[in-house]
Amino acid sequence: MNFYSTNNKNLSASFSEAVIKGIADDGGLFMPSFIPMLSESFFNAIDTLTFQEIAFLIAQKFIEDEIPKNDLHKIIEESISFNAPLVRLSGNISILELFHGPTLAFKDFGARFMAKTLSFLIRNENNHVTILVATSGDTGSAVANGFYKVEGINVVLLYPGNKVSEIQEMQLTTLGENITALKVDGTFDDCQRLVKEAFVDRDVISNKKLSSANSINIARLIPQSFYYFKAFAEVKNENRDLIFSVPSGNLGNLTAGLIAKQMGLPVYKFIAASNANDVFPKFLETSCFEPKPSIKTFSNAMDVGNPSNFARIIALYNGDYSKIKNNIYGASFSDTETVSAIKEMYSKYHYTIDPHGAVGYLAIKNYMSLADNKNISGIVLETAHPSKFPDVVYQAINTEIEMPARLLSAMKKEKKSIPISKDYSEFKQFLLQN
């Protein structure tokens, strides 16, 4: 299968080229030349398959013979080595827990898969690959963990100073080895802009082999579709219309779900659940996409004012606004509402949720209150462990959360980061000198 640039459909690359480059030469994002359909027999048998078997069958549709079957099996087994359990809250609302990986965030699925895939694809090359990653929190730690000590790969993480939680920053900055953290005096959008500028800077790309591990990389996006199918396998016999509420920032998680739907997954509706950074819900409401500076909130992984994967959603629906609006419902909520939702879920369901999942819960409640269709099975994607946001959660439930051992170990290490401005020339100088 070939992958085209969202800026120019005539500019295409193989899967291997798309993964290694990360972003197209013209600055566009890679999209599959077509969305492969899964067979009826696959869906009939899906509840008999393991998570890894589901992941392999989906991945193979995009990768085809560029990675031999045995090697792809190994990549899947080593990267998708943890579960994504579905927890029932009520008769028609469930939580899909995506935080059971090594860094306790959903980004572990994509980051680990990409790390194993990229390592395989460059196994015979002599040149080092430099991975550039803009992160608003969890992406950076997942990528750092996935690529830690991987031979032939150096990782540069750019994160917005004072806009990630203390725990997230410790996860980003304490690994060392082949991982370098840059603390940018700006927002996530500034970090993302710096990365994109580097990819089209001839001085930089002539000196370094660059790739990206943000959701702009197709190898990060594909594995994020796996757990949508896994969730469906658990509810397929309920005979209800399936709705996913997706905490949405850079729109990668949502895009992966939309791709799953076009592969045949029977999803009735997607909900783009946003915080005060409501660029995408406003687009769904008005048809006008107007990026704006991001606002700091309690759900910081969603603090994105110019989401990159918007281009992929437009490409997926050939720019047809009516189709996009028909498939996606958008809603945004304040920090005050988020705290209230955490409190409500704790008291009503005895479930402790993080701020991102709380926004997803608010959005699905909002949709269900307005929808005529009452035959709904709603699934909220819980994207991070609540212990990563202890201050916000404690404010809501007045109870300390036990911190998993993986986080405790990170908190005991020495933090190492390099402060830089949001000026591209400074970032360029760093890349050329290191």
Catalytic residue numbers? 107
Q: Which two tokens stand for residue 271?
A: 């909900």
243: closest CA among 94, 60, 359, 102?
A: 94
Pair of tokens at residue 213: 């591990």
**Distance of alpha carbon 349 from alpha carbon 366, whole angstroms:** 18
CB proximity list for 44: less than 8 A, separation 6 or greater? none
Residue 152, by phi and psi: left (phi above 0), alpha (psi -120 to 50) or beta? left
Neighbours of 100 (CB within 10 A): 16
Q: If you write DSSP's letter for every residue of 165-228 in order, what string do you get?
A: -HHHHHHHHS--TTEEEEEESS-HHHHHHHHHHHHT-HHHHTTSEEEE-STTSHHHHGGGGHHH
DSSP-assigned states of every residue in 340-366 = HHHHHHHHHH-----HHHHHHHHHHHH
Phi, psi at residue 256, to the nearest 5°? -60, -40
Q: Return the beta strands (E) in 71-138 as ranges.
A: 86-88, 93-97, 129-134
For residues 106 and 383, give the distance between their C-alpha atoms in angstroms, rounded to a whole number: 5
